[in-house]
Amino acid sequence: LVAYSFMVDALLFATVPSIGRYLPGQAGNALAGMPDAHLLAPAVGAAVVLAWTLVFVVAATVRTDRSDV
């Protein structure tokens, strides 16, 4: 997860900022108010972070429901 955050997220944002700004790390940077012209507005960043959180929660729930305990 850390490697993804530092490598994939940052690399995609550096090469294709129009797509990379919607990734979790860059949306979090927008929410934190980092000064970059390519980042989203803080309110939009909050919505994107919320959407990613919901995606991860749903994926974890589906994975847990399908696992044999």
| Three-state helix/strand/coil letters over 12-32 | HHHHCHHHHCCCHHHHHHHHH
Give the pLDDT score at 49. 95
| C-alpha to C-alpha distance for 58 and 55, rounded to whole angstroms | 5
Given a contact cutoff of 8 angstroms between Cβ atoms, the answer to whether 29 and 40 are in contact is no
The pLDDT tens digits for 3-56 are: 877 788 889 999 999 999 999 889 999 999 988 899 999 999 999 999 999 999
- Position of tokens 């797509």? 19
pLDDT of residue 7: 87
Is the pLDDT at 68 greater than 80, yes or no?
A: no
Per-residue confidence band for 69, with pLDDT thresholds at 50, 70 and 90: low
Give Cα separations from 66 to 57, 60, 61 (angstroms): 14, 10, 9
* Structure tokens belonging to residue 50: 């919320």
pTM value is: 0.81
